[in-house]
């Protein structure tokens, strides 16, 4: 057989069989067989197989035996854990192939960076020793040099973990993922290097050294072919905008900016921006406008992007027809009654969306909660006109089978139900459902509110009201600063949902350099679940107005009433004990007789009334709506007081929503107080214009009349104030807003006529709906300071939102 194995292309021939043996090694060959009798072929092949198997058995029989297995070099991994992975056992034959397989097994565990094999001849065979060197054991992972991305953010990208053996591949992958995270944030020059640092003999630290580099910005956005819209119009809606040079100041100071993301390339928003650009053009009548996906080029220094859109505008289209199809519930005249789209005007897709919403609400108000309105736009390219057909699928009129309330562990069911503007067995009304959501949200009892209709029959739905409660009890101790109070310490205990019945109870104490206040309040917003509310107040205060000291103690009982869905009024009866003392030295008796004549004790009794219409969507942080109304106060001796006067005010506020969750607020106020029967206006009833709640940028009361020589305040008989606020969201999750404001107002003296020559101021403000109440911080600049006035005023207040 051995001689046959050494043959090289030797032929063996006979009458019945030909065998060609081609040697390919020391112990193997290839046989090419041709035979006339197949049974001989089988015999030869079987014989060859038997001989091969016999050779393997003989080879194992003469191989040495493994008499001992030992493992050395391990420090952290225990011997049983290593030995348990090996398949080689004592008394197994020792062959190189078997040993190499064991080495591979040890490497595959991931614990070792080197494995060596040592052998030693012993009685009866061979002793095998596996000498291992463990990989570095990483006890901690740290990040060095990261400023713009937090450790937590980098941990999310790190696949290798602490308290494990180092995996070089995982370390490299983690470094690359961190680099890509920086690239996603605009840092295209970022470098990340993983380094092993030795803490001691057994402990290692893996440090990812980060060199962030400068952030790449969008320097130029090109709209090639666009003529119908300006860049400013496009940038109002797009997520990717050009870098604003002065934005760097906001970045370095970590201040909120109106353009906080200007210049940031958001790859995942580019496709959406294409649709936003088309929407702008569609709203200008360019019905066939096309916008390509942008080309993005990065400069060689990896600092600047150029983004180029190719725009094909086409020609503007006008509206040729507005039609309705599929309606039976309403007459066509009713559908057209508030139609905003006019035939012959420039086509605007935004108006179509508004019409879909209007029609859906219109049907929803009649109980057709699942009505569907599908617009169909048919362009005529030759005449450049478009017909708009609104196809209506009315569905069935739905009635509410039952209202299910869930999630209210503390709040009683009836407290929620009385805010819901629909009842069981009523036809469903989507407009009333929206209003129900607003009212529940305005309770400020819940983190989230959901009102979801669920169809349970062909013409019936269940209304599922799901709420998630939040803590309504507040205990806060803090401080602040205002131009009236100066430094102030505040302690407040408030429960807005007492006993789960919606009652409000408050105990508040305030101690300041110039004013101290004590207040106890109880309010029941719905007496017997009706439309009437009750509020009781007991209060005491001491205020140093510099020109005089005021001490006041009193109580009031107020009854309120909902007169309609948005209109409410109130009337209260009150009584106050007043004491004025300690005028500024030199004022009395001649310089300020208005104050000096009222020193001593007096009292006020009478009535205060209010009437307001309030359509704001969310009282604490409105996006839209009006609040307009006013009040009338009467102080009369008929109830036992000494003061006799009447006072009235008008207050109008409007919120207008703008893109990017911004809004514009305008507020106008006018008020006047008049004495009766030859008496004086009580000092406590005068208007003090200036300060964070009236005209920001002025010290409290100094936008009204002052004593010229001493610059001391004494209040105004009339006030006229305008406030203009541009409000933008800094953090929706934290409920933090920024404000840029312009205030224009003044307080007028007793015999001074009211004019529009008012005092201007402008500045910035931060508003935070904090867990312990609304908080405001404002800095205002007096745009026309007079002698003795400050040019800028910083103020802080808590407890109200202007």
- Kindly report, residue by residue over 667-682, the tens digit of the pLDDT: 999 999 999 998 899 9
DSSP per residue over 572-631, as a string? Answer: EEEEEEEEEE-PPTT-TTTT-HHHHTT-EEEEEEEEEEEEEEE--S-SSS-SSEEEEEEE
Question: What is the distance, to the nearest Å, from the Cα of residue 616 to the centroid of all Cα atoms in its chain?
Answer: 21
What CA–CA distance (Å, rounded) separates 62 from 60?
A: 5
745 in the same domain as 627: yes
- Give the pLDDT band of residue 479 (cuts 50, 70, 90): low
Domain annotation covers residue 441: yes
Q: Are residues 632 and 769 in the same domain?
A: yes
Domain for residue 398, yes or no?
no
Is 299 in the same domain as 185? Answer: no
Task: Determine, yes or no, domain membership for 570.
Answer: yes
**Residue 650: closest CA among 703, 715, 700, 720:** 720
The pLDDT tens digits of the residues spanning 20-35 come to: 544 444 444 445 554 5
> Would 613 be classed as within a structural domain?
yes
Instruction: Name the least confident of 45-54, 132-141, 449-458.
Output: 45-54
Q: Of 712, 698, 700, which Cα lies nearest the Cα of 758?
A: 698
- pLDDT value at position 657? 93
Given a cut of 60, whether residue 435 has pLDDT beyond it is yes
Instruction: Report which of residues 37 and 392 the model is more confident about.
Output: 392
Dihedral sign computed on CA atoms, order 79, 80, 82, 86: positive
Which one, of 34, 26, 30, lies nearest residue 6 by Cα?
26
Could you give the 3-state DSSP secondary structure of residue 49?
helix
* 511 vs 15: CA distance, rounded Å: 126
Q: Would you state the pLDDT for residue 48?
A: 44
**Token reading at 80:** 């049983």
Count of structural domains, the chain: 7
Distances from the Cα of 251 to the Cαs of 263, 487, 569, in angstroms?
12, 31, 47
User: Which residue among 425, 451, 469 closes a domain?
Assistant: 469
Distance, CA of 366 to CA of 398 (rounded, Å): 9
Cα gap 64→121, rounded to integer Å: 9
pLDDT at res. 259:
42
Per-residue pLDDT tens over the stretch 757-778: 999 999 999 999 877 678 899 9
Q: How far from the centroid of its chain's Cα atoms is residue 723's Cα? A: 27
* Distance separating the N- and C-terminal Cα atoms of the chain: 107
pLDDT at 249: 43
Exposed/middle/buried for residue 734 (C-beta within 10 Å: 0-12, 13-18, 19+): exposed
pLDDT mean over 135-139 = 75
List the one residue out of 445, 466, 441 whose CA is nearest residue 454: 466
246 confidence band (pLDDT: 50, 70, 90): low
**Which has the higher per-residue pLDDT, 303 or 402?**
402
Q: Are residues 592 and 459 in the same domain?
A: no
Q: Rounded to an integer, what distance in angstroms lies between the CA atom of residue 778 and that of residue 741?
A: 10
Residues 8 and 52 in one domain: yes
Nearest residue to 335 via CA among 313, 306, 360, 303: 360
Contact 415, 500 (CB under 8 A): yes
Q: List helix spans (H) across 146-238.
A: 151-157, 168-184, 231-235
Residues 144 and 202 in one domain: yes
Residue 719 near residue 637, CB atoms below 8 Å:
no
The tens digit of pLDDT for each residue in 497-536 reads 999 999 999 999 988 888 899 999 999 999 999 999 999 9
Nearest to 397 by CA among 330, 497, 344, 341: 330
What are the beta bridge partners of residue 673?
647
Provide the 3-class DSSP secondary structure of residue 709: coil
pLDDT at residue number 125:
85
Return the closest-CA partner of residue 794 out of 750, 761, 751, 748. 761
Please check whether residues 365 and 233 belong to one and the same domain.
Answer: no
Tokens (6 digits) for 87: 């398949």
pLDDT of residue 482: 61
Query: Which residues fall within 8 angstroms of residue 586, CB to CB, at 6 or more apart?
Result: 710
Q: What is the dihedral sign for C-alpha 250, 251, 256, 257?
A: positive
Instruction: Based on the fold, state whether residues 322 and 421 are members of the same structural domain.
Output: no
**pLDDT value at 350 more than 80:** yes
Q: Is residue 445 part of a domain?
A: yes
DSSP strand pairing (625-635 vs 645-658): antiparallel
User: Taking 70 as the threshold, does the pLDDT of residue 51 lie above it?
Assistant: no
Distances (CA, A) of 662 to 3, 236, 696: 96, 11, 21
DSSP-derived secondary structure letter, 638: G
What pLDDT, in 10s, does the model give residues 574-604?
A: 999 999 988 776 667 776 778 888 889 999 9
Of residues 214, 212, 219, the one with CA closest to residue 240: 219
Q: What DSSP character marks residue 257?
A: -
Closest CA to 717 of 690, 744, 740, 749: 749
State the pLDDT at residue 437.
Answer: 94
The predicted-structure confidence for 77-131, as pLDDT tens digits, reads as follows: 778 878 878 888 888 888 888 888 888 888 887 778 788 888 888 888 888 888 8
Report the range out of 392-406, 481-495, 760-774 with the highest average pLDDT.
392-406
Of 537, 486, 536, 476, residue with least CA distance to 509: 476
Alpha carbon distances (Å) from 517 to 546, 591, 658, 677: 17, 30, 39, 32
pLDDT tens per residue across span 363-393: 998 999 899 999 999 999 999 999 999 999 9
pLDDT at 13: 47
Residue in the block written with tokens 């789209």: 341
Do 773 and 648 share a domain, yes or no? yes
CATH number at residue 248: 3.10.20.310
pLDDT of residue 662: 92
Token digits for 422?
A: 């629909």
The average confidence (pLDDT) of the chain is 85
Nearest C-alpha neighbor of 111 from the set 165, 70, 74: 165
* Residues sharing a CB contact under 8 Å with residue 233, sequence separation 6 or more, in sequence order: 280
Task: List the single range of 201-205, 281-285, 750-754 with lowest mean pLDDT.
Answer: 201-205
Instruction: Give me the sign of the Cα torsion angle 752, 756, 760, 763.
Output: positive
Q: Which of 134, 165, 185 is the last residue of a domain?
A: 134
Q: Which of 192, 211, 230 lies at the terminal end of a domain, its last residue?
A: 211
- CA 209, CA 193: separation in Å to the nearest integer? 5
Residue 414 sits in which domain range?
407-469
The residue behind tokens 């602490």 is 162
**Least confident range of 44-53, 509-518, 632-641:** 44-53
Question: How far out from the chain centre does Cα 258 lie?
Answer: 16
For residue 702, being part of any structural domain is answered with yes
Token pair belonging to 459: 């013409």
Mean pLDDT of 238-247: 78
Token couple for 769:
């709906």
- Answer whether residue 4 shows pLDDT above 80: no
pLDDT for residue 450? 95
How confident is the model at residue 69, as a pLDDT? 85
DSSP for residue 716: B
pLDDT band of residue 10 (cuts 50, 70, 90) is very low
With respect to residue 179, please indicate whether it lies within any of the assigned structural domains: yes
- pLDDT (0 to 100) of residue 42: 41
Residue 412 CB contacts under 8 Å (≥ 6 apart), including other chains: 500, 501, 502
Residues 617 and 694 occupy one common structural domain: yes
Do 40 and 11 have their domain in common?
Answer: yes
Rounded CA gap, 272 and 259, in Å? 19
Note whether 160 and 221 are same-domain residues: no
Evaluate whether 588 touches 595 at the Cβ level (below 8 Å). yes
Angle at 570 between CA 568 and CA 571, to 5 degrees: 160
Tell me if 401 is assigned to some domain.
Answer: no
């Amino acid at each position: 057989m051995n001689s046959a194995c050494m043959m090289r292309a030797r032929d063996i021939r006979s009458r019945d069989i030909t065998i060609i043996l081609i040697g390919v090694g020391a112990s193997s060959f290839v046989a090419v067989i041709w035979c006339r009798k197949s049974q001989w072929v089988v015999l030869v092949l079987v014989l060859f197989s038997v001989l091969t198997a016999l050779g393997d058995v003989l080879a194992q029989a003469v191989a040495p035996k493994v008499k001992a297995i030992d493992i050395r070099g391990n420090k952290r991994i225990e011997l049983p854990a290593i030995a348990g992975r090996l398949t080689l056992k004592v008394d197994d034959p020792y062959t190189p192939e078997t040993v190499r397989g064991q080495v591979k097994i040890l490497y595959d565990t991931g614990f070792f960076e080197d494995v060596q094999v040592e052998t030693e001849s012993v009685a009866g065979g061979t002793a095998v020793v596996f000498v291992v060197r463990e990989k570095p054991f990483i006890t901690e992972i740290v990040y060095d040099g990261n400023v713009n991305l937090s450790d937590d953010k980098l941990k999310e990208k790190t696949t290798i973990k602490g308290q494990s053996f180092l995996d070089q591949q995982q370390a490299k992958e983690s470094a690359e993922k961190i680099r890509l995270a920086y690239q996603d944030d605009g840092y295209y020059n970022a470098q990340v290097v993983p380094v092993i640092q030795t803490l001691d003999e057994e402990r290692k630290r893996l440090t990812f050294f980060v060199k962030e580099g400068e952030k790449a910005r969008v320097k130029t956005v090109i709209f090639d072919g666009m003529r119908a819209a300006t860049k400013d119009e496009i940038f109002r809606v797009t997520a990717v905008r050009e870098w604003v040079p002065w934005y760097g100041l906001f970045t370095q100071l970590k201040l909120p900016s109106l353009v906080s993301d200007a210049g940031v390339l958001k790859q995942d928003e580019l496709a959406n921006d294409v649709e936003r650009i088309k929407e702008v053009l569609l709203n200008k009548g360019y019905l066939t406008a096309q916008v390509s996906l942008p080309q993005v080029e990065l400069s060689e220094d990896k600092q600047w992007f150029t983004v180029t859109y190719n725009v094909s505008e086409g020609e503007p289209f006008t509206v040729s027809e507005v039609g309705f199809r599929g309606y039976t519930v309403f007459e066509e005249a009713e559908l057209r009654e508030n139609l905003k789209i006019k035939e012959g005007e420039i086509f605007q897709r935004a108006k179509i969306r508004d019409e879909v919403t209007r029609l859906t609400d219109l049907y929803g108000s009649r109980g057709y909660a699942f009505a569907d309105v599908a617009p169909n736009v048919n362009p005529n390219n030759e005449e450049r006109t478009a017909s708009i057909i609104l196809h209506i699928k009315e569905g069935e009129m739905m009635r509410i089978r039952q209202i299910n309330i869930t999630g209210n562990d503390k709040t009683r069911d009836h407290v929620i139900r009385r805010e819901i503007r629909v009842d069981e067995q009523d036809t469903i009304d989507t407009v009333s459902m929206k209003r129900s959501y607003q009212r529940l949200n305005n309770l400020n009892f819940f983190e989230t509110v959901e009102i979801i209709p669920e169809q349970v029959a062909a013409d019936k739905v269940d209304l599922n009201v799901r709420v998630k409660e939040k803590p309504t009890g507040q205990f806060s101790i803090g401080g602040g600063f205002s131009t009236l109070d100066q430094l102030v310490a505040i302690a407040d205990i408030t429960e807005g949902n007492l006993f789960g019945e919606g009652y409000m109870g408050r105990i508040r104490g305030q101690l300041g350099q110039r004013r101290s206040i004590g207040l106890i309040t109880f309010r029941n917003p719905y007496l017997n679940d009706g439309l009437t509310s009750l509020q009781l107040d007991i209060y005491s205060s001491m205020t140093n107005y510099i020109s005089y000291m005021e001490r006041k103690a009193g109580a009031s009982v107020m009854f309120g009433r909902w007169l309609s869905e948005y209109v409410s009024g109130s009337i209260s009866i009150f009584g106050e004990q007043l004491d004025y003392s300690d005028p500024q030295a030199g004022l009395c008796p001649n310089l300020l007789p208005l104050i000096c004549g009222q020193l001593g004790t007096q009292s006020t009794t009478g009535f205060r009334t209010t009437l307001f219409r309030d359509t704001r969507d969310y009282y604490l942080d409105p996006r839209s709506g009006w609040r307009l109304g006013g009040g009338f106060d009467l102080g009369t001796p008929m109830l036992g007081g000494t003061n006799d006067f009447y006072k009235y005010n008008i207050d109008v506020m409007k919120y207008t929503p703008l893109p990017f969750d911004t809004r514009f607020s305008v507020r106008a106020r006018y008020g006047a107080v008049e004495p009766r029967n030859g008496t004086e206006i009580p000092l406590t009833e005068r208007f003090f214009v200036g300060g964070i709640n009236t005209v920001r940028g002025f010290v409290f009361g100094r936008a009204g009349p002052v004593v010229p020589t001493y610059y001391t305040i004494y209040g105004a008989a009339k006030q006229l104030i305008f406030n203009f606020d541009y409000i933008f969201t800094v953090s929706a999750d934290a409920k933090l807003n920024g404000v840029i404001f312009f205030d224009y107002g003044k307080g007028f003296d007793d015999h001074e006529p009211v004019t529009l020559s008012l005092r201007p101021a402008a500045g910035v403000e931060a508003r935070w709906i904090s867990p312990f109440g609304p908080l405001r911080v404002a800095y205002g600049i007096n745009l026309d300071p007079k002698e003795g006035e400050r040019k800028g005023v910083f103020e802080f207040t808590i407890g109200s939102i202007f």
